[in-house]
Amino acid sequence: MRGTQAGLDQELAARLAALERRDREWRPWLALLREAFDAVENGGWDDPLAATIPSRADGTLLDGLELFVDVQRSQALVSRLAEVAQLGPYRPTEQHMLALLANSVRDDRTAIEALATSAGVDGHRLDLVARLAAWPLLVACGRTLADAIPAAWPHGHCPVCGAWPLVVERRGLERARRLRCGRCAADWPLAWLTCSYCGERDHARLGSLVPEGELEARKIETCSTCRGYLKSVSTLGALTPAELLLTDVETLELDLVAHQRGWVRPPGLAQTPEVQVRVRS
């Protein structure tokens, strides 16, 4: 159901408001999320790929591709995010904006820090802006490439953009296990009793932590071999891209529990897609 003043789905708007009331420290991040959600809700992020999609059984689908963006729409989003992030009078040039998006897709924080230095702004805040400015582009890529994901993708990382999964869904009455990417919202299966990070399949080394009162609606999957953990949620159907990011924020207490007990998530991407971002002519 649509029609909120911000243009967001009413349920998303209500969940954002609930999170803002829950913890004041989250408000700066939630304000950035709201801008990104608005950008996707308002549409215009059309098929960003001009090339024929290659069939790949192993490498990520975005690797080696050119991504095309509407320059005015992308610059406007970057400028709005920069204003919310309090980056001052930051107005990126076209080339700066394209470099920012490309380096965010590649998760190249060193390059983003260099862009921040050249613009005279805070590197950490520009990194947050870059991540959410590239999110609508990556979601469009994930949607476009969904049918090209190999049916037998053997890895735990995202087949589209190379990221580690944000959460695992136990979906529907059959509790199908689906890994979900928080960057492009790609959706792929992984066998039960398999670590998404190291591939461990020994059930004796795989476990879970279930918060009191959750009845396994939300839990932490763990692997003693690599000390990795992954948040696991029960869902009726596939979460939307925005719901994925909100669910991640809503379950931050699971991350705290995991970290306190020595469980970790791998840093960065599992595979870095080499991409170029161009202006759509």
**Using 50, 70 and 90 to split pLDDT, how confident is the model at 125?**
very high
Taking the C-alpha atoms of residue 228 and residue 208, their distance in angstroms, rounded to an integer, is 11
Residues in the chain: 281
Query: Would the pLDDT of 211 be above 90?
Result: no
pLDDT tens column, 148-175: 998 889 899 999 999 999 999 999 888 8
Pair (15, 144) in one structural domain: yes
- Of 47-61, 74-88, 198-212, which range is least confident? 47-61
Q: By C-alpha distance, which of 249, 230, 277 is closest to 33?
A: 249
93 compared with 90, residue with greater pLDDT? 93
Pair (39, 112) in one structural domain: yes
Average model confidence (pLDDT) across the chain:
91
Look at residue 52 in the predicted model and tell me its pLDDT: 66
3-state helix, strand, coil in the chain (%, to 5): 40, 15, 45
Pair (42, 143) in one structural domain: yes
In the chain, pLDDT over 90 holds for what percent of residues? 76
**Using 50, 70 and 90 to split pLDDT, how confident is the model at 6?**
very low
Query: Would the pLDDT of 237 be above 60?
Result: yes
Pair (128, 34) in one structural domain: yes
Pair (241, 125) in one structural domain: no
Full-model pTM? 0.92
31: containing domain: 10-52+59-149+272-279
Query: Would the pLDDT of 2 be above 70?
Result: no
Look at residue 47 in the predicted model and tell me its pLDDT: 83
Phi, psi of 219 (to 5 degrees): -155, 175
Instruction: Give the count of alpha carbons within 13 A of 92, CB side only.
Output: 32
Residue 106 lies inside a defined structural domain of this protein: yes
Other CB atoms within 10 A of residue 154 CB = 12
